[in-house]
C-alpha cells in the first residue's frame, strides 16, 4: 500500500505480529523442524527497525505487517536469519511506481501460470466429467493429478512468494471490511495479491487432497439409481427405465410429480425412501449403478436378473461416510501449514466465502425460525390439499413451469437442442439477446464458452486466462437435451456468463471473479428462474414475481437446513478427529435429525427425519453447501435491483467490479449489505398477492 492508505491502530498491527509469532511457537510443537520457521521475534524486530531506518515512516504500515508474515513462512532451507533480513532489505519496494510495476508483472505471469494449470486440469478430467468411452483406471489416476500441486513450493523456492508477501501484506477479513471502503481499485488489487501466499502447504499434501476430492467426485458422479428396477410392496414398477444420479437426479425427479395426484405422491414417497436408504447406508450395494437387480426400497429386498431373491443383500459399507472422512483427513494435513486459516472451516468461511461461520449460522437459523416459514408452508398445504411431508422441502409449485407437463417441455427442448452444438449456437445467443445483451457482447460471451455433454448432473468450469474458454456441462441424451438437462444448462450458462465477464471485463487480473461462489450462484439462479421465458412460455408478470419470491424463499428454507447439517458435521469432526466412518455416519444422522426437529418437523411433520443429510455436496464438495442459500439471498436482492431495468446493463454494471468482499460488493451492486430481511418482507407481500 502507499503511504496514503488508511491504517489500523498500531495496537492491531502489533497484535498481528504477536499472533504470528505465537503461531510459529505452536507449529514448533506440531511439526518437524523442516516445517517450521527459523526466524525468531528478535530477528523480526531487527528487520523492521532496519527498514524503518532506511525508509522512515513512509511505508511503516506495510513492512510492520509484512515482515512478520514473511517470517512465519520462512524455513531453514530458505536461508539463515541473517539472510532473511538481507532479503527483506533488498526486496522491499518503497517507490509507488515500482510497486505498481511489480503488481502488473505478477498479474500477467499469474494469468499465464494459473490459466495453463486450469486448462491442464480440465483436459485431464475430461473423460471423468464428460460423456464418452467407459472410464478406465488411468482416467481416474489422471483426474486425481493436480498440475498446480507444486506451484506454492516453486514460488517459495524461487523466493517469488516472499517478494509478494513482503510487498503486498495480508489483511484479515475484518480488516478488509473495515478498510476496504476507503481503498482505490489498485489498493484492492494489492490486498488480493496479499491473499496469494498465506500458507506454505507441501506439494504432497496438495496432491493428496486433490486425489481425495477427485475420488469422492468420481464416487458421486457414478452413484446412479436404476429407477425402472424399483418396485413397491405390491411389485409395481412406478418409474420408466432411467438412471438418476444421487441426490440431484432423485431430487429433480421428485419435483416433477406434484401434479399427478396419488400416483405422483406414491413416486415421491418411493424416492424419499430411496434417499433414506442412501443416508443410513442400508441401501444394498448391488443396486447402485446396476440394472441387473430389482429392488424394493421399503422392504429392502432384492431380486436378481433370474428372478431369484437375493438372500441378505450386503448393504453399502459406509462408503459414503468414508469418503467424507477421507476428505477431512486430507484437510487436516493442509491445516498444519495454514497459520492464517488453521482449519478447513476457517478456510471455507473466512478465506473462501469471506463471511464468518457465526455470521452464516446466525443468518440461516434466524431465517428458518421466522414465522413467515409457517405461513408459506400453509399456502403450500392448501395448494396440495394434504398435510405436508418431509420431501415437500422440495415443493416445486411456485415455479411457472409447475403446471406444465414435463414431457411436453422435454419434447420442446429435445427438438430445439438435439446436440450440444445446437445449444451453443442457438440457445446461448438467444438467451443473452432476450436479456438485453448487444449482438456484439452476445457473440463475445458465447465465443468464450464451450459446451460438453456431462456424465454427472452438470457443472460450469471457469477459465483462468483470457485465451481459454469456460466450460458448460449438462446431460444430453442420444435423442437430445431433455428439460432437466436444459434447466441445468441454463443455470450453468449463468455461471459461464459471470465467469466470462469477470475475467475479461475486470480491470486487474487478481480481482477477477466474484467475492465467493454464492455470487456466481446468484447469477446462475437469475438465469435458471427464467428458463421458461427463454422458451417463450412465460406468464403474468405480477403473479410471476410473487411466485418467484416464494420459490426463492422456499429454496432458502430447504438448503439452509442442509447447510447447517454440513457445518455442524465438520464442527463435530474437528472435535472428534479420530472418528471412524461408522461413527461419522451415526453423528451426521443425529445432526440431521436435530436440525430437522428444531426447524422443520413443526412445519413438515415426521420427527427425526434424516432427509437433510442426502446432499451429495457433503461428500464431494466439502463445506460448499452454505454458498447455495447465501447465493439465494443475494439472488433475491439482485432481482429487486434488476426489477424494471435492462438486465444485461445491470449485469455489466455490477459484475466487473470483481472480487471485493461480499459486503463491499453488495453495497456496489444494490446499495446495502447481505440480509434476509428483504426476502422475508417480500414473501409476506407475495402471500397477500397470491391469496
**What Cα–Cα distance (Å) separates residue 482 from each residue in 416, 426, 478, 681?**
10, 16, 10, 36
What is the separation of C-alpha 497 from the centre of its chain, rounded to a whole number of angstroms? Answer: 17
Q: Count CA atoms within 13 Å of residue 326 on its CB side.
A: 20
Q: What is the pLDDT of the chain when averaged over all its residues?
A: 92
pLDDT at 288: 97
Helix ranges, 513-646 (H)? 517-528, 531-534, 541-575, 581-599, 601-604, 617-620, 627-642
pLDDT of 120 above 60: yes
pLDDT at 460: 94
Higher pLDDT, 401 or 500: 500
Q: Find out whether 111 and 504 touch, Cβ atoms under 8 Å.
A: no
pLDDT at 2: 33
302 forms beta bridges with 295
pLDDT at 7: 35
Which segment, 23-37, 118-132, 427-441, is predicted with the most confidence on average? 427-441
Residues 161-181 pLDDT 10s: 999 999 999 999 999 999 999
pLDDT at 52: 95
Q: What do you get for the CA distance between the two ends of the chain, in Å?
A: 56
pLDDT at 36: 75
pLDDT band at 33 (very low <50, low <70, confident <90, very high): low
Selection from 62, 14, 9 nearest residue 178 by Cα:
9
Selection from 571, 630, 620, 564 nearest residue 593 by Cα:
564
| Residue 273 to residue 284: CA distance in whole angstroms | 13
| Residue 567 to residue 560: CA distance in whole angstroms | 10
Percentage of the chain lying above the pLDDT 70 cut? 94
pLDDT at 16: 43
pLDDT band at 55 (very low <50, low <70, confident <90, very high): very high
List the domain boundaries for the chain: 10-197, 224-320, 321-399+539-690, 405-534
Percentage of the chain lying above the pLDDT 90 cut? 83
Residues 258-269 pLDDT 10s: 989 999 999 999
Q: Find out whether 499 and 425 touch, Cβ atoms under 8 Å.
A: no
Q: Which three cell numbers stand for residue 515?
A: 467475492
Residues 317-336 pLDDT 10s: 999 999 999 999 999 999 98
Q: Which three cell numbers stand for residue 94?
A: 518503497
Rounded mean pLDDT, 129-134: 90
Alpha-carbon Rg for the chain, nearest whole angstrom, is: 26
pLDDT at 401: 62
| Residue 291 to residue 351: CA distance in whole angstroms | 43
Residues 510-524 pLDDT 10s: 999 999 888 998 899
Residues 353-366 pLDDT 10s: 999 999 999 999 99
Selection from 624, 591, 658, 590 nearest residue 360 by Cα:
624
Rounded mean pLDDT, 69-86: 95
pLDDT at 95: 96
| Residue 11 to residue 22: CA distance in whole angstroms | 16
Selection from 560, 572, 110, 573 nearest residue 368 by Cα:
560
Amino acid at each position: 500500500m502507499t503511504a496514503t492508505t488508511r491504517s489500523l491502530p498500531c495496537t492491531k498491527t502489533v497484535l498481528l505480529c504477536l499472533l504470528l509469532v505465537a503461531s510459529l511457537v505452536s507449529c514448533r510443537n506440531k511439526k518437524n523442524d523442516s516445517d517450521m520457521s527459523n526466524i525468531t521475534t528478535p530477528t523480526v524486530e531487527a528487520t523492521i527497525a532496519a527498514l524503518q531506518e532506511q525508509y522512515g515512516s513512509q511505508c511503516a504500515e506495510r513492512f510492520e505487517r509484512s515482515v512478520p508474515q514473511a517470517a512465519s513462512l520462512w524455513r531453514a532451507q530458505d536461508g539463515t536469519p541473517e539472510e532473511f533480513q538481507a532479503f527483506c532489505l533488498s526486496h522491499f519496494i518503497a517507490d509507488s511506481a515500482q510497486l505498481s510495476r511489480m503488481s502488473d508483472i505478477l498479474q500477467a505471469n499469474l494469468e499465464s501460470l494459473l490459466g495453463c494449470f486450469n486448462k491442464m486440469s480440465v483436459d485431464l478430467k475430461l473423460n471423468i466429467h464428460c460423456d464418452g468411452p467407459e472410464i478406465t483406471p488411468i482416467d481416474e489416476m489422471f483426474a486425481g493429478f493436480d498440475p498446480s500441486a507444486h506451484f506454492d513450493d516453486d514460488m517459495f523456492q524461487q523466493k517469488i512468494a516472499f517478494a509478494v508477501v513482503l510487498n503486498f501484506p495480508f489483511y484479515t477479513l475484518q480488516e478488509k471490511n473495515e478498510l476496504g471502503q476507503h481503498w482505490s481499485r489498485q489498493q484492492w488489487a494489492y490486498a488480493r495479491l496479499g491473499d496469494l501466499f498465506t500458507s506454505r502447504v507441501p506439494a504432497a499434501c496438495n496432491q493428496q487432497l486433490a486425489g481425495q476430492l477427485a475420488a469422492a467426485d468420481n464416487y458421486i458422479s457414478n452413484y446412479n439409481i436404476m429407477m425402472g428396477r424399483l418396485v413397491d410392496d405390491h411389485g409395481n414398477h412406478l418409474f420408466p427405465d432411467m438412471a438418476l444420479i444421487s441426490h440431484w437426479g432423485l431430487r429433480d425427479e421428485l419435483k416433477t410429480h406434484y401434479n399427478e395426484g396419488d400416483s405422483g405422491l406414491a413416486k415421491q414417497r418411493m424416492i424419499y425412501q430411496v434417499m433414506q436408504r442412501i443416508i443410513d447406508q442400508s441401501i444394498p450395494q448391488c443396486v447402485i449403478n446396476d440394472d441387473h437387480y430389482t429392488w424394493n426400497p421399503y422392504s429392502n429386498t432384492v431380486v436378481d436378473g433370474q428372478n431369484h431373491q437375493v438372500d441378505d443383500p450386503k448393504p453399502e459399507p459406509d462408503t459414503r461416510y468414508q469418503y467424507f472422512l477421507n476428505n477431512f483427513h486430507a484437510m487436516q494435513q493442509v491445516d498444519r501449514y495454514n497459520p492464517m486459516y488453521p482449519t478447513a472451516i476457517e478456510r471455507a468461511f473466512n478465506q473462501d466465502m469471506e463471511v464468518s461461520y457465526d455470521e452464516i449460522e446466525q443468518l440461516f437459523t434466524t431465517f428458518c425460525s421466522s414465522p413467515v416459514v409457517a405461513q408459506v408452508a400453509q399456502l403450500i398445504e392448501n395448494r396440495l390439499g394434504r398435510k405436508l411431508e418431509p420431501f415437500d422441502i422440495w415443493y416445486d409449485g411456485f415455479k411457472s413451469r409447475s403446471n406444465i407437463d414435463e414431457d411436453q417441455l422435454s419434447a420442446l427442448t429435445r427438438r430445439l437442442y438435439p446436440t450440444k452444438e445446437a445449444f451453443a449456437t442457438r440457445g446461448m445467443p438467444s438467451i443473452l439477446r432476450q436479456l438485453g445483451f448487444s449482438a456484439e457482447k452476445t457473440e463475445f460471451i458465447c465465443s468464450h464458452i464451450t459446451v460438453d455433454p456431462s456424465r454427472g448432473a452438470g457443472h460450469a468450469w471457469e477459465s483462468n486466462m483470457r485465451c481459454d474458454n469456460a466450460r458448460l456441462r449438462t446431460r444430453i441424451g442420444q435423442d437430445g437435451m431433455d428439460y432437466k438437462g436444459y434447466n441445468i444448462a441454463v443455470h450453468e450458462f449463468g455461471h459461464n456468463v459471470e465467469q466470462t465477464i469477470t475475467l475479461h471485463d475486470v480491470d486487474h487480473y487478481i480481482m477477477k471473479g466474484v467475492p465467493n461462489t454464492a455470487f456466481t450462484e446468484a447469477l446462475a439462479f437469475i438465469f435458471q428462474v427464467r428458463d421458461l421465458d427463454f422458451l417463450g412460455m412465460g406468464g403474468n408478470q405480477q403473479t410471476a414475481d410473487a411466485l418467484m419470491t416464494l420459490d426463492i424463499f422456499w429454496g432458502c428454507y430447504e438448503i439452509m437446513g442442509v447447510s447447517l447439517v454440513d457445518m455442524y458435521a465438520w464442527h463435530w469432526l474437528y472435535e472428534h478427529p479420530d472418528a471412524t466412518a461408522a461413527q461419522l455416519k451415526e453423528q451426521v444422522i443425529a445432526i440431521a435429525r436435530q436440525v430437522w426437529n428444531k426447524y422443520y418437523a413443526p412445519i413438515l411433520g415426521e420427527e427425526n427425519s434424516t432427509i437433510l443429510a442426502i446432499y451429495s455436496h457433503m461428500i464431494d464438495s466439502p463445506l460448499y453447501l452454505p454458498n447455495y442459500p447465501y447465493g439465494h439471498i443475494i439472488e433475491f436482492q439482485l432481482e429487486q435491483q434488476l426489477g424494471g431495468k435492462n438486465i444485461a446493463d445491470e449485469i455489466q454494471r455490477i459484475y466487473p467490479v470483481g472480487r471485493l468482499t461480499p459486503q463491499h460488493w453488495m453495497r456496489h451492486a444494490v446499495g446495502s449489505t447481505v440480509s434476509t430481511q428483504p426476502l422475508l418482507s417480500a414473501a409476506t407481500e407475495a402471500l397477500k398477492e397470491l391469496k
